[in-house]
Structure 1
Amino acid sequence: MRPVELSKNVYWVGAVDWLTRDFHGYSTERGTTYNAYLIIDEKVTLIDTVKSGYCHELMHRIRNIIDPKKIDYLIVNHVEMDHSGSLPQVVQEIQPEKIICSKMGQKALTQHFHQPDWPYHVVTPGEELRLGPNKTLSFVETRMLHWPDSMFSYLKEDQILFSSDAFGEHLASSERFDDEVNQDVLMHEATKYYANILTLYSPIVKKLIAQVEAMHLPLKMIAPDHGIIWRKNPKKIIDAYSRWCVNESNGKALVIYDSMWHSTEMMAKSIAGGLQDKGISYKLLNLQVNHHSEVMCDVLEAGAVILGCPTLNNGLLPRMAGFLMYMRGLRPTNKIGAAFGSYGWSGEAVKLMNTAMSEMNFRLIHPGLRVQYVPEHGQLQECVELGHIVGQALLDAKAGNKAV
């Protein structure tokens, strides 16, 4: 793939990773990209690099535009290794006049690469960097979105926001822009990206969006470090982040469960029936066949999360235990919660799931349902009733236009 021009003398020169299927526990079934950008003016500037192993693609695309040795500035918006893994090779080849980063970026780069003598140039929030007569960059610190070093770079004349890990998706594609790809696929991957990477940092996202809006930056494009570039409608992804960062509910319910011999599964289906009685849209998600990162994509916007698991060795089945650890790390909020499960002789699973949801500040509206061995008709009716209770709580929240 050749470089792609975003606007006059501004190019995408990154790499497409068609093969990766796991990103530290996050399933990436559509691959990903490592985006880097080249700006041509009196001072030639490269924004970010690529993951180790993809440096040859980066340098090949740059050479299609300019001799890499003519690059003066190298901007590091984010030090995580999928963007800086090839940095030592790039620095060695281009010998930049400046490596531009945040204060925390310099610290992280030094700790990662042990190169205290690199030509670091630390920028402060709002600082402008003139590249020549036609291009001016300014910088927005985005600390803990999602690393301490993170920052945005804004190209004033072209109105392009280089947004590091924000507003991206893990999506390998021969297309580079939002108007060139399937919109359902695009928004699913953008939702999944936020749910699995940024949910924990939602309060910071909320403050950042308010900060950027207060700056009144005109935006023609948002160019993230992963996925496609938003040129047709940058506001679409900003509006989505505005909803996600305040945990806005879609009023739907999730029944997330695992089962050994189908007893807990019978309970799950009966609870789903109760939700349906109340007219509630729901998903029945068996952890045996649904990856935890896909489940979190649904959790992000769900109004209610109902967890089901049988007891195993006085605890949980491994898949549910793993999912709870993963979800607690991301800390989704503003959810109605309930738990259920079958057991043989002890029955601790429901209590453990309730505890986990309480720690995430879910609003538990039922003490939980436990059934020994195989549920009978009357016990399944109790499950239906649990579905009614959760469904009514969702309806009440919607009618009152209040948080669940």
Structure 2
Amino acid sequence: MGKQLTEKVSWVGKVDWELTKFHGDEYSTHRGSSYNSYLVRDQKTVLIDTVWQPFDKEFVSRLKQEIDLKSIDYIVMNHNEVDHSGALPELMREIPNTPIYCTVNGAKIIKGHYHQEWNFVTVKTGDTLDLGDSKLVFVEAPMLHWPDTMFTYMTGENILFSNDAFGQHYATESLYNDTVDQAELFTEALKYYANILTPFSKFVTKKIHEVLDLKLPVNLICPSHGVIWKKNPTAIVKQYLKWADNYQENQVTLVYDTMWNSTRKMAEAIALGIWDTDSSITVKLMNSAKEDKNDILSEVFRSKAILIGSSTINNGYLYSIGGILEMIKGLKFKNKRAAAFGSYGWSGEAVKQLTEELEKSGFQIVNPGHRALWVPSEDELLNCREYGRQFAASLS
């Protein structure tokens, strides 16, 4: 079961190649995921994190092949969302008195999930656990991305067990960052940050600087999903600092839904106008009724500006746009501009409503938006193209 990382540390997790959805249906996992659990064997033995509940019996069974469970002296739970703590009940049936090290909030969450009074040992930043030759040093990291989150640093081996931070939903049997497709890895790492950690960027920046100020040597960063950062491990830390700093690329993304293709035609004409003005801008068009919602949000994260388009229906906008707007609002993007567009036949309220929602979500509104009545004529498509030129000019 285990894969040796160092003389003292083994990976004992689960690679889930079949996973396609996560957080219910909120997050798409096109490339599967992994639930990384780590076994530390010094003079004392520690299990760091477990796996998701559907794999609890498999996890415990394989762990038994690796080690006598009764020889596990401590369990460390860095974060207790069910994809990390789900195997705890099955494990604790075997070793019910084993101390579980976690934050105060961690103990509350475990009790809330499993309604068990296990042997909790609560820790705070700076607390240590002596294993013999090495020590575990605990660092609270609340809101990265839950209130209970903490990092665990192992001295001697110079390993940072970072839980969700620096992770990705990415299945690989080879474990390390330098053994996988780099384009895939970057895509999944950015998607993970954009869709999960963006609302907590100020906490990300603060916590990373706090850890960097400790000047700890880092040979490995071991998150709870995806690859282990072995080659140049702190590169992902530097990337997080960039992503946390109101990130944007030279990109404009148009997100739209359309009933009879009129709004789609508008989107394409506006895109041409943007290209007319500045061919260096990356312009992407995404139909919210057809594209994956998390991929859309990743492109919004990359963008310096977005345009949201919808036909008007029942005095409002189309439901797929409503869902994307709700997710955008929750992610609290910063330092981005926006406007709205859309076709209509009767009343035409959608553009005004979209503009209001974008403003509520923290976007700087470029203009009141652009509407087209019924099916856009050739002249109207030229107007849309000119609107795109003006929108692009406003970004310079």
TM-score range, shorter chain: over 0.9
Cα distance in 1 for partners of 2:316, 2:176 equals: 47
Give the share of equivalent positions with the same residue, in percent.
43
Match of 2:236 in 1: 237
Question: Is the CA contact (8 Å cut-off) linking 2:31 and 2:170 kept in structure 1?
Answer: yes
**Residue 121 (str. 1) matches residue 121 (str. 2):** yes
Cα distance in 2 for partners of 1:233, 1:382 equals: 50
User: How far off its partner does 1:393 sit?
Assistant: 3.0
- The letter of the residue matching 1:371 is A
- The letter of the residue matching 1:33 is S
User: How far off its partner does 1:386 sit?
Assistant: 2.2
Question: Is the CA contact (8 Å cut-off) linking 1:73 and 1:96 kept in structure 2?
Answer: no
Question: Is the CA contact (8 Å cut-off) linking 1:162 and 1:222 kept in structure 2?
Answer: yes
Task: Please list the CA deviations of residues 65-91 of structure 1 after superposition, one character each: whole Å capped at 9, or x if unmatched.
Answer: 321221010011111001111111111
Match of 1:298 in 2: 299
Cα distance in 1 for partners of 2:3, 2:134 equals: 18
SS at match of 2:284: strand
Which ranges of 4 or more aligned residues in structure 1 deviate by more than 4 Å? none
Cα distance in 2 for partners of 1:83, 1:229 equals: 16
Question: Is the CA contact (8 Å cut-off) linking 2:316 and 2:353 kept in structure 1?
Answer: yes
SS at match of 2:5: strand
User: How far off its partner does 1:269 sit?
Assistant: 0.4
Question: Is the CA contact (8 Å cut-off) linking 1:69 and 1:95 kept in structure 2?
Answer: no
Could you list the runs of 5+ residues in structure 1 that have no partner in the other structure?
Answer: 397-404
Match of 1:270 in 2: 269
Question: Is the CA contact (8 Å cut-off) linking 1:333 and 1:360 kept in structure 2?
Answer: no
Cα distance in 1 for partners of 2:215, 2:116 equals: 37
SS at match of 1:255: strand
Output the TM-score relative to the length of structure 1: 0.94
Task: Please list the CA deviations of residues 2-23 of structure 1 after superposition, one character each: whole Å capped at 9, or x if unmatched.
Answer: 3111111101100111112111
Q: How does 1:155-174 map to 2 (within 5 A)?
A: 155-174=154-173
Q: How does 1:275-354 map to 2 (within 5 A)?
A: 275-277=274-276, 278-279=278-279, 280-354=281-355
User: How far off its partner does 1:246 sit?
Assistant: 1.1
Cα distance in 2 for partners of 1:249, 1:88 equals: 43
Match of 1:194 in 2: 193
Task: Please list the CA deviations of residues 362-392 of structure 1 after superposition, one character each: whole Å capped at 9, or x if unmatched.
Answer: 1111110011101123322222122212322
Could you list the runs of 5+ residues in structure 2 that have no partner in the other structure?
Answer: none
Match of 2:100 in 1: 99
Output the TM-score relative to the length of structure 2: 0.96
Question: Is the CA contact (8 Å cut-off) linking 2:57 and 2:90 kept in structure 1?
Answer: no
User: How far off its partner does 1:248 sit?
Assistant: 2.2
Cα distance in 1 for partners of 2:373, 2:311 equals: 10
Q: How does 1:5-404 map to 2 (within 5 A)?
A: 5-24=4-23, 25-116=26-117, 118-132=118-132, 134-277=133-276, 278-279=278-279, 280-394=281-395, 396=396
Match of 1:402 in 2: none
- The letter of the residue matching 2:287 is N
Question: Is the CA contact (8 Å cut-off) linking 1:50 and 1:85 kept in structure 2?
Answer: yes
Cα distance in 1 for partners of 2:216, 2:258 equals: 51
User: How far off its partner does 1:30 sit?
Assistant: 1.0
Cα distance in 2 for partners of 1:176, 1:114 equals: 34
Cα distance in 2 for partners of 1:270, 1:291 equals: 23
Question: Is the CA contact (8 Å cut-off) linking 1:9 and 1:41 kept in structure 2?
Answer: yes
